[in-house]
Chain A
Amino acid sequence: MTNNRNVWVFIEQDEGRINDVSLELLSKAAELAQTLAGQVWAVLCGSEVADLAETAIQHGAARVLLADHPELALYRTLPYTRVIADLIRAHNPYAFLIGATPVGRDLAPRLASAVKCGLTADCTDLQIGDYTSKKESVTYKDLLYQIRPAFGGNVIATIVNPKTRPQMATVREGVMRRREPDAGRKGEVEPVSVSLHPEDLALQVLSREVREPTVHLKDAPVIVAGGAGVDSAEEFQLVRDLANALGGELGASRAAVDAGYISREHQVGQTGTTVRPRLYIAAGISGAIQHRAGMDQSNKIIAINTDPNAPIFQVAHYKIVGDLGEVLPLLIKALREKAK
């Protein structure tokens, strides 16, 4: 077992395009690797994807492990697990970061189970620090702090994996900031052999359909979001109307999505999209950390809620204690008057 401090990133690609979250994670990994005095390695799987290695290097990878094989063309759990678990066993990385996409959320737990390492889902921050186990009276140096909202997002937990390697974590898209690529960066590409077992091919993909996103929350300058305080589909229409009046995108808390007012694509928060708009209006959103973790970096926040003690007010720049049915029409009317 080599005593290395390398941070690995899974490069998720689909039909030759690298998912944004993988590039964001390369940026974060570069930062962590610097603290650890280790290297960033990228794991790239697919079929005829060698030219993507250069992109990974420009975004911070010192080495790209390239698994190129026809059976890896489309993501499937078992072949990808076979290849990556073998690589982990061969190189024993210190940490491994994976995007919390549908692919990453399928792959990471399977991998963690295969190599028997700890895994933390949906981290909102990653840091390096020490951990003293009181039970063992041992201090573990330079562990990966895996920080995430927990218990429905009402607390922030810092998780560590003191003994198992790699220290594995998934991170949602948009949480980490992506650095600009550096065309001058040099790195190595190491093709790896792929040996699959017959049982790895138990599942076949018959067909796939991928839609272009119709909701563009991540880069929206203005977002109006509705939550549990919205009493009816009619009242949710008022949230839509306000978004339209502002030329903004429509957001929602999980409660509004669960209530069926709006599709999951619109969900802002730890398990939805992380946003940093110029203006965020939270309409009837109580503000569990779950939600706040995805929007508290907004430039200006207006919160509207009937409950004066709602936690959302603590991150708001403008507080409006009142009924949505009254406040939203007033906002729409005031905007229309100004537009004239």
Chain B
Amino acid sequence: MSYNSIVLVKQVPDTRAVTGEVMTAEGTMNRAALPAIFNPEDLNALEMALQVRDQHGGTVTVLSMGPLQAAEVLRESLYRGADRVILLSDRKFAGADTQATSYSLAKAIQKIGAFDMVFCGRQAIDGDTAQVGPQTAEKLGVPQITYAESIVSLADGEVVVQRAFDLGTELVKCKLPCLLTVTGSANQPRPPSARKRIEYKLAAIPTEYPKLLEKHTEFGSAEALDQYLAEHHLKIEQWTTANLDVDESQLGLAGSPTQVYKVNYVVLESTESKDIAPTPEGIRALIEELIKEYIVG
């Protein structure tokens, strides 16, 4: 029995890289200083799907919604072993909250066709909401297994999954199809092979073709390039709203029930503070003061 999986991935700014340098003197953030990366737990989701395919056969399709630059995470998905990758990109998706995002993703999944499992990371590091997975599952009308740590067994149309939380574990059995959100501790994503990384450098979305044709004049035309990429498993499919059967009022900002009323860059009012010298004398004086004020002791 083989299984068809769909993996939802997201390109995110590496919010873990926020350091003093990324913060400006006014206390705001220089976003451009943050690298765009593959959302870490989405890599765990992809790995879990690849392991299912390796053990049972089937296919792994990776889907990402985002701006054109997000093609990069799909290129990476290809060289990590995905069979098919699709970028869902359209200005109409812009400003989507998790509700509108899950609506668009569910529509794209329905367009991909029958699946046994949808995998996504537990949460994305830019929003930390952990909402898109469950919201997509509801729209697909399938059960969800959040905090998935490992697949214990997969047979007879049922999956047994170990879930893991800070303070415990749970073993559940669920009918397929279903959606799983995968924890960062679930597995060690396989390192992409260097050879494949070079091979897949050519992988592209159609929007990138003109640039590629300038560099690789040997293809001659976009059609020839497209055919070459498709034949060599280098094609990143590009879908817009035109490819989906969607109600446009449910997309993007207009389809988002939540609205951002205001965003405050937190300009910290400095607490009255004392500078302590990093010397034996300075530290000793600090400890003495803390003891005197009953903070320590």
Binding site for B on A (CB under 8 A): 77-78, 81, 102, 105-106, 108-110, 112-114, 116-122, 131, 133, 145-146, 150-164, 202-213, 222, 228, 246, 254-255, 258, 264-265, 270-271, 278-279, 286, 288-290, 292, 299-302, 305, 307, 309-311, 313-323, 326-327, 330-331, 333-335, 337-338
Contact = CB atoms under 8 A, between A and B. Distances in A.
Interface stretch (B17-25, B58-66, B110-118, B196-204): B17-25
B145 interface: yes
Interface stretch (B49-57, B231-239, B258-266): B258-266
Interface string B101-145: 010000000000000000000000111111111111111000111
Interface string B251-285: 00000111111111110111111111111101110
Given A204-B172, A335-B287, 12 more contacts: A78-B143, A106-B134, A116-B99, A118-B99, A151-B29, A203-B145, A210-B167, A258-B16, A307-B19, A320-B278, A321-B275, A338-B291
Q: Determine which residue in B127, B258, B272 has the highest number of CB atoms from chain A within 10 A of its CB, and name it.
A: B258
Contact of A279 (B25, B144, B295): B295
Contact of A222 (B278, B284, B296): B296
A186 B132 CA distance: 39
Contacts of A278: 295
Instruction: Identify whether the interface residues of A are mostly helix, strand, loop, or mixed.
Output: mixed
Nearest to B19: A286
Nearest to B170: A208
Contact of B15 (A122, A151, A330): A151
Nearest to B268: A314
Contacts of A323: 278
A110 B137 contact: yes
Interface stretch (B1-9, B70-78, B173-181, B221-229): B173-181
A158 to B, nearest CB: 4
Contacts, number: 258
Given A286-B19, A311-B268, A331-B287, A118 B273 contact: no
B290 interface: yes
B271 A112 contact: no
A175 to B, nearest CB: 14
A119 B131 contact: yes
Contacts of B245: none
15 contacts: A109-B138, A110-B144, A113-B102, A204-B173, A205-B171, A205-B172, A206-B171, A208-B170, A209-B168, A254-B16, A279-B296, A311-B23, A314-B27, A315-B268, A319-B276
Contacts of B27: 311, 314
Contacts of B291: 338
B147 interface: yes
B270 to A, nearest CB: 5
B128 A122 contact: yes
Contacts of A258: 16, 184
B273 A316 contact: yes
Nearest to B129: A121
B98 interface: yes
Nearest to A131: B261
B284 A334 contact: yes
Contacts of B128: 121-122, 270-271
Closest 6 pairs (CB-CB, A-B): A152-B15, A322-B278, A118-B257, A314-B268, A113-B138, A118-B258
B167 A119 contact: no
A110 B278 contact: no
B97 to A, nearest CB: 7
Contacts of A309: 20, 23, 25
